[in-house]
Structure 1
Amino acid sequence: MAIIFSILFLLAIVSFFIFRKKPLAETPELLPANYKDLLAENVAYYQKLDQTGQASFETMVQEFLKAVRIEGVGTEITDMDRTLIASSAVIPIFGFKEWRYKNLTNVILYPDTFNGEFQFEGESRNIMGMVGSGYMNGQMLLSREALIRGFSKSSGKENAAIHEFVHLLDKADGSTDGVPEQLMTHDYALPWLKMMHKEMHHIETGKSDINPYALTNEAEFLAVAAEYFFEKPDRLQDKHPDLYQRLSEMFAQKLVISS
């Protein structure tokens, strides 16, 4: 019976992704009336910007919410959810004001972590987010619990939502391989690969504080390193100055201001 239920649940999710009735253009995401307050209270990246930077950030949040639908599975979407998801999207592209996520139409929010069959109850739920492919192309799935934790003061150097949006940037050139060709010239690709593999070796031998999940493959290394870059840039620059410099160039953002 449990197997039958799992199959029916999976089919329902697949149908949800494929057969939605409402076109994207007819259902723009509502901009929370208090989104500026939510940004000021919950998004450390926004708090560190000057007045001009905050105005640009707000505009980019608005543009994202006009272009991408945010839907809940087993949960209602709140103003906080909308604001944090949009912030997660804006942070990696803040150095590219005209960038649009052309490979994203929907963000699907689950109340908690989920498994490979998209179930958010029971055991073996360890997925905090994923970028869809195949029949789920254009979709991003996120765990609300991971989303909120990524913007909490105790998040450390991890932010699952930023992680997934970096995957989208990586995927923009057609391949999720850790080399975002839209963000770097061809000449930088080989040095970047060499740097990744060198740092992955340091992680493997216990000589790095970067999350070991980065060892999964080059794409995960990029996303994990980007989390560190955006969440704890000072620490990254101190412990991994070359990596910080490369990511600063890649994302066109100088997050550590020299005194």
Structure 2
Amino acid sequence: MLYILPLLILAAAALYFFVFRSPDARTDTHPDTWHPILIKHVAFYANLNSRAQRRFRSRMLLFLEETYVEAVGFELEELDTVLVAASAVIPVFKFKEWHYENLSGVVLYPDNFNEDMDFDENHPDRMIGGLVGNGRYENQMILSRSSLHLGFDNTSDKNNTGIHEFVHLIDKVDGETDGVPERLMEKSFVLPWINLMHQEMEAIDKNKSDIRKYGGTNQAEFFAVAAEYFFSRPKLMKRKHPELYKMLMMCFDPRQKKSA
């Protein structure tokens, strides 16, 4: 019995560590090449301290364990996979845990595509950079590789296709892609958020806003476009759109809900 008790304690500790530990406490088993790629291409990551960067990479690893990433028409490279995973992690990084339960895989096309999923250069209507699938594409995301890369390489604008599409998935969790992320927002803020959205959309339509024009299409697109701006140029949004910035902070950072 003297030998059995320590073994039982060790087994219980091992069970707790592997089964009940937080995703952020996962062993850092990602490739060593991720860090320099992220530093070079992902400003959000580069601005984190070293501890938060380790947590970011762990979140990427978890996402890639749960979601496949594949390419159509070209050979997938590590940078492609890293940028997809970073796009997934950025909007939910402040949450203790998040699983994209409405996503099974991400499919990358070499360039923009049309509604028929055609990315042939002979089709001038190839205007789509990304979409969240429905019907036979349910639980899939389709992204243009060129648009995905541009979103991270061009740090002077407010656009990021990868983040945009993952925000649509977050919006869709409550059953509707309607620009009202009920899983992220306290009920008391829903009506003020809708009113603020429509004020901002009206300003876009009147060319009185620096928010991308596509954000005026409907509520769902406004939320995704505003989130691109929020994560790509947070300081600029805070200065130019303080109320919108505050609302998005409450959506994407649970700590803000406690202090509101």
TM-score bin, normalised by smaller chain: 0.7 to 0.9
Q: Deviations over 1:96-151 (max 9, x none)?
A: 13111000001000000000111101221000000001221100000000010000
Runs of 4 or more off by more than 2 Å in structure 1? 30-33
User: Do the aligned residues in 2 keep the contact of 1:32 with 1:79 (CA within 8 Å)?
Assistant: no
User: Do the aligned residues in 1 keep the contact of 2:95 with 2:254 (CA within 8 Å)?
Assistant: no
Q: Write out aligned runs for 1:75-154 (5 A).
A: 75-121=74-120, 122=122, 123-154=124-155
Q: Which amino acid aligns with 1:76?
A: E
User: Do the aligned residues in 2 keep the contact of 1:60 with 1:97 (CA within 8 Å)?
Assistant: no
Q: Deviations over 1:23-77 (max 9, x none)?
A: xxxxxxx955511221122110000001121111011011011110001111111
User: Do the aligned residues in 1 keep the contact of 2:205 with 2:213 (CA within 8 Å)?
Assistant: yes
Q: Which amino acid aligns with 2:103?
A: L
- Structure 1 stretches lacking a partner, 5+ long: 1-29, 255-259
Q: Which amino acid aligns with 1:66?
A: E
Q: Which amino acid aligns with 2:136?
A: Y
Residue 170 of structure 1 pairs with residue 171 of structure 2: yes
Q: Deviations over 1:177-233 (max 9, x none)?
A: 000111012111111000000111111111110011011100000000000000000
User: Do the aligned residues in 1 keep the contact of 2:95 with 2:253 (CA within 8 Å)?
Assistant: yes
Q: Provide the TM-score with structure 2 as the length reference.
A: 0.84
Q: Provide the TM-score with structure 1 as the length reference.
A: 0.84
Q: Name the count of aligned residue pairs.
A: 225
Taking a change above 3 Å as real, the CA distance of residues 48 and 154 of structure 1, as seen in their structure-2 partners, is: closer
Q: Deviations over 1:156-176 (max 9, x none)?
A: 100001000000000011100
Q: Distance in 2 between matches of 1:147 and 1:31?
A: 22
Residue 208 of structure 1 pairs with residue 209 of structure 2: yes
Q: Distance in 2 between matches of 1:229 and 1:120?
A: 30
| Structure 2 match to 1:220 | 221
Query: Alignment RMSD, CA only?
Result: 1.5
Determine which structure has more spread, i.e. the larger CA radius of gyration. Answer: 2
* Aligned partner of residue 107 in structure 1, secondary structure: strand
Q: Distance in 2 between matches of 1:32 and 1:108?
A: 22
User: Do the aligned residues in 2 keep the contact of 1:94 with 1:253 (CA within 8 Å)?
Assistant: no
After superposing the two structures, state which structure 1 stretch, 97-106 or 148-157, moved more: 148-157
Q: Distance in 1 between matches of 2:156 and 2:118?
A: 25
